[in-house]
Amino acid sequence: MNQSISQDTTGATPVTQSDAAPGIKIKADKVKVFYGEKQALFDVDLDINENEVTSLIGPSGCGKSTFLRSLNRMNDTIDICRVEGSIALDGEDIYDKNVDVVHLRARVGMVFQKPNPFPKSIFDNVAYGPRIHGLVDNKSDLDQIVQTSLEKAGLWNEVKDRLDQPGTGLSGGQQQRLCIARAVAVSPEVILMDEPCSALDPIATAKIEELIDELRSNFTIVIVTHSMQQAARVSQKTAFFHLGYLVEVDETEKMFTNPTDERTQGYITGRFG
């Protein structure tokens, strides 16, 4: 794919999305992200629907993680990172001065590419979020939350006998599901997942995909993935990023059968990426 063409056509890309439809959870408007002098995202407009799985795809370095991390302001932890434009969660700009980041991150949880359980017991891993946010005031409520979270993450049966053992002692796939349980335990409204299966084998991946589909009924999910098949399997909506631009976003079905942009077509059919 030719660099100059991609630059030229960006402005004219017809971004098909239904404006102000009911059930829009997050609305990104002209989002630009800079790392120091370098701009990583250019004017991204994207609506994320409630109780849907939205997948972000695109070649490496195109800004998927950057966009995902700007949805819960994880970029704040990077000194040189700067965000312009607006991102609204339920109509409220999350970059507004009055927004408390701690509260925001309790509403928008995150699961990372590499499983990163705390070096604590399985129980404490899941209980950490509810504890710091003061969601429970007695032990039995906490036990209940831990159990339901682990059940939602499909891990309960495997670990119920060893909740006091370190979370780091689980297998990679189990660790990732533990991280999902940990995020779920805070009862967020949105869960962001950055390539949650990239370190896992096909069986663990299948389990997590199944899980994502179940979680959809309670949560809004945004997932970054490098696997077309995964995007096609789990998501209702797919957004294709390229060189910092949001090239195309549409129903997943349509995206994989009849993409509008030739860059999308090229990427999906594996001609570049």
Partner 1 sequence: MTDAATTMNGNTGGGLTTRNSGEAVRKSLKRRYAAEKRFQMYGILAIFFAICMLGLLFTTIIGKAVPAFTQTMINLEVTLYPQDIDPDGTRDPQVLSRANYRTIIRQAFFDLFPDVTSRRDKRQLFEMISPGAVFEIRDQVLKNPDLIGERVTIQMPLSDDIDQLNKGQIDRNLPEAERRVKDKQIAWFERLENRGLVETVFNTTFFTAGDSREPELAGIRGAAMGSLFTMLVTLLVSFPLAVSAAIYLEEFAPVNKWTQTIEVNINNLAAVPSIVFGLLGLAVFINFFGMPRSAPVVGGLVLALMTLPTIIIAARSALKSVPPSIREAAYGLGASPLQVITHHVLPLAMPGILTGTIIGMAQALGETAPLLMIGMVAFIVDIPQGPLDPSTVLPVQIYIWADSPERAFVERTSAAICVLLAFLVFMNVSAVFLRKRFERKW
Residue 79 binds partner 1, judged by CB under 8 A: yes
Count of residues that bind ligand ATP according to CB under 6 A: 11
Residue 153 binds partner 1, judged by CB under 8 A: no
* 3-state secondary structure labels for all residues of 100-155: CHHHHHHHEEEECCCCCCCCCEHHHHHHHHHHHHCCCCCHHHHHHHHHHHHHHCCC
Phi first, then psi: what are they for 195, rounded to 5°? 45, 60
Residue 87 binds partner 1, judged by CB under 8 A: no
The answer to whether 177 touches 154, Cβ cutoff 8 Å, is yes
| Stretch of 56-64, 83-91, 115-123, 134-142 contacting ligand ATP, by CB under 6 A | 56-64
Residue 223 binds ligand ATP, judged by CB under 6 A: no
- Provide, rounded to whole angstroms, the least separation between the CB of residue 103 and partner 1: 7
Residues shown for the chain: 273
- Provide, rounded to whole angstroms, the least separation between the CB of residue 73 and ligand ATP: 14
Give the footprint of ligand ATP on residues 72-131 (CB under 6 A): 78
The one of ligand ATP, Mg ion, partner 1, none whose footprint includes residue 40, by CB under 5 to 8 A per kind, is: ligand ATP
* 3-state secondary structure labels for all residues of 62-82: CCHHHHHHHHCCHHHHCCCEE
- Rounded to a whole number, what is the distance in angstroms from the first to the last CA of the chain? 10
Residue closer to Mg ion, measured from CB, 39 or 218:
39
Q: How far apart are CA 197 and CA 74, in angstroms?
A: 20
- Provide, rounded to whole angstroms, the least separation between the CB of residue 217 and partner 1: 22
- Provide, rounded to whole angstroms, the least separation between the CB of residue 143 and Mg ion: 36
Q: How far apart are CA 223 and CA 181, in angstroms?
A: 16
Residue 162 binds partner 1, judged by CB under 8 A: no
Q: How far apart are CA 217 and CA 204, in angstroms?
A: 21
- Judged by DSSP in three states, 44 sits in strand
The one of partner 1, Mg ion, ligand ATP, none whose footprint includes residue 160, by CB under 5 to 8 A per kind, is: none
Residue 128 binds partner 1, judged by CB under 8 A: yes
Residue closer to partner 1, measured from CB, 193 or 246:
193
Interacting residues with partner 1 (CB under 8 A): 72, 74, 77, 79, 101-106, 109-112, 114, 116-120, 128-129, 132-133, 179, 182-183, 186
